[in-house]
Structure 1
Amino acid sequence: MKGVWKAYRLFHYLKLIGIWISGIAVVAMMLLIVYDVMMRTLFSSSIRGGFEIIQNYMMPLVVFPGLAYVYSSGVLPKMDLLLDRFGAGMQKAIILLMILLELFVLVLIVQFSWAYAMDGLEREIAFPAAGTLYPLYPFFFLIPIAFGMIVIENLFILIRNILEKKPSLLMEEPKGPVEDL
């Protein structure tokens, strides 16, 4: 299990990079919107294509890079209240079944969103803003990457539930250094 925790700690750093990207995108989006509102209010002009750039570039950067971190943090609803009513053996069976079902659905999402991203790359999908075409297809790859990271998170949770006695819906990190495990 020590090797799994070391690998998970490395994966955790990837999730932190994603949350930083999302945070920086939120700040950039906020500054762009504030600047645009000030320009419209004070000078009766706005950023040409500002709305489209925020919609097509900033919003995906806010949502998708941090999705795996949010999923792993435990803020999304799980079946905790229902699971507490069952014994440990039944909890483990239900959790394993739920994880396998989630993995099935998430792998389908990754597969179809990857196909969509590849189609967008092939067709070089772009959006018009201020009379110019801006490429949109690179941002399509954020979706399969984000859901792929959630698949990896679920695989870690599955391995944890197989190797440890106490069932859990989260990959709770051990207290202290991993070497002490």
Structure 2
Amino acid sequence: MEAVWKVYRLFHYLKLIGIWISGAAVMVMMLLIVYDVVMRTVFSSSIRGGFEIIQNYMMPLVVFPGLAYVYSSGVLPKMDLLLDRFGPKVQKAIILLMIALELFVLALIVQFSWAFAMDGLSRGIAFPAAGTLYPLYPFFFLIPIAFGMIIIENVFILIRNLLEKKPSLLMEEPKQQVEDLL
């Protein structure tokens, strides 16, 4: 199980990179919006195509790179209240069933979003902003990458539940390992 934790720590760094990308996109989006409002208020002009650029570039960068980190942090609702009412064996069976179902649904999302991204790439999908066409298709690849990372997170959770006695919906390290690192 120690080898799984080492690999998971490396994967955790990838998730942190994603959350930093999302945070930077929020900051850039905020600065663009503030700049646009100031320009409209003070100088009666605005960023040409600013709304479209924020909508098509910044919004996907805010949501998708950090999705795996948010999923792994435990802020998304799970079946905690229901699971606490059952014994450990039933909890483990329910968790394994839930993970299998999630993996199936997420694999479908990755498959179809990858096909959509490849179609966008082959057609060179773009959007008009201020009289110029900006490529949109590269951002289509954020979707299968984000959901692929959630699949990897679920595989780690599945491995943890298969190897350890105590069932869990999250991939959190045992406390003694964390204390040893400190």
In structure 2, list runs of 5 or more residues that go unmatched.
none
Find the aligned partners of 1:174 and 1:57 in 2 and give their Cα distance.
39
Residue 74 of structure 2 corresponds to which residue in structure 1?
74
The separation in 2 between residues aligned to 1:68 and 1:169, in whole angstroms, is 14
Shift of 1:170: 0.2
The TM-score normalised by the length of structure 1 is 0.97
Aligned mates of 1:128, 1:32 — CA distance in 2: 18
For residues 34-53 of structure 1, what are the structure 2 equivalents within 5 Å? 34-53=34-53
Corresponding residue number in structure 2 for 1:136: 136
Give the 5 Å matches for 1:1-181. Answer: 1-175=1-175
Corresponding residue pairs, total: 180
SS in 2 for 1:165: coil
Cα shift readout 1:107-162 (whole Å, capped 9, x = no counterpart): 00000000000000000000000000000000000000000000000000000000
- Cα RMSD for the two superposed structures: 1.3
Residue type of the alignment partner of 1:151? I
Q: Deviation at 1:174?
A: 3.2
Unmatched tracts of structure 1, length 5 or more: none
Partner Cα separation in structure 2 for residue 174 and residue 36 of structure 1: 48
Q: Identical aligned pairs, as a percentage?
A: 88
Q: Which amino acid aligns with 1:8?
A: Y
- C-alpha separation between the residues in 1 aligned to 2:47 and 2:11? 39
CA distance in 1, matches of 2:50, 2:5: 44
Letter in 2 for 1:163: L
